[in-house]
Amino acid sequence: MTELQRDSNYQWTGEAVECTSGIHWAIAEQANGTVAIIVNSPGGILTGKQVRVLAEIVGEDGVIKNTRRMTSLLLIPKEKVAAALEQLQAAGLRVANLHKSVRNIAACPGKGFSPNSRGDTLELARMLDEEFYGTILPWDFKIGISGCPRNCTGVQCQDLGLMAEPRGKYSLWIGGTESGMSPKHGMLVLKGIPRDQVIPVVGRILETYISGAEEFKEELGNRARLYRVIEKTGFERFKKAVEELLSNGAVSK
Ligand code: SF4
């Protein structure tokens, strides 16, 4: 099984962002000449102190745009990018990515906030981010978590979706995509995954994805989104990989 590799090293050259592993970090010049920096914030959570830092970076009349993936997009002049990256780091914030890694993890408010919730979403988003931020992947990989079947995060429209069930369990879907000209709903892999097995299960899905993309590299090219890999390998390969892991007793986190 392919081992997961991570890389969160990139360089801002003064003109563009560069990363040797191929991850596209979210620092990009816009059509109007400003530079957009997307701030990683799993579940869309920022502390008051972090929000203040973002406001300082853009300045009083500057703009922060909230994105559909629960991130803050800072719009700043190019000459301020290097200083902004230092300010983000000092505030414990990391830059999000656009391609070839796990995108900012979307999660609804979940347990403790939403009265409908069946389980935790935000802490799980944080843990998944800690484990998989900067993982080198064949293309974009979007994860979404909903706290109940009202499904405010649209888990079937993500590459990997988790939905809380009662008693600390989660259902897992894979292979969805919300964007592009052919949006797709993902397929249900399994219900009843214990919370402490979620991270190993996600890891196994990523490993299976990487090895499948490698196997069908010639046909898939270098933008192999998960649903395209599943079309080649078959869904059963992914389902079996998860079932095997769970039957062998996955390593608890
Ligand atoms: S998915 Fe359920 S728990 Fe999450 S915000 Fe919506 S209603 Fe609340």
142-188 pLDDT, tens digit each: 999 999 999 999 999 999 999 999 999 999 999 999 988 889 999 99
Q: Is the beta carbon of 112 within 6 A of some atom in ligand 1?
A: no
Going from the Cα of 170 to the center of ligand 1, the distance in angstroms, rounded, reads 14
Long-range contacts of 116-120 (CB under 8 A, 24+ apart): 116/147, 116/148, 116/150, 117/147, 117/148, 117/164, 118/147, 118/148, 118/164, 118/165, 118/166, 119/147, 119/164, 119/165, 119/166, 119/168, 119/169, 119/170, 119/195, 120/147, 120/164, 120/195
Q: Provide the pLDDT for residue 250.
A: 54
Q: CB of 165 closer than 6 A to ligand 1?
A: no
| pLDDT digits 0-9 by tens, 181-219 | 889 999 999 999 999 999 999 999 999 999 999 999 999
Q: What is the reported pTM?
A: 0.95
Which option is the CATH number for 11-97: 2.60.120.620, 3.90.480.10, 3.40.50.720, 2.30.30.230?
Answer: 3.90.480.10
Average pLDDT, the chain: 95
Architecture of domain 106-247: 2-Layer Sandwich (3.30)
Any idea where the domains of the chain sit in the sequence? Answer: 11-97, 106-247
From atom 5 of ligand 1, which residue's Cα is the shortest distance away?
108
Q: Can you tell me the mean pLDDT for 62-80?
A: 94
Do the domains 106-247 and 11-97 match in fold?
no
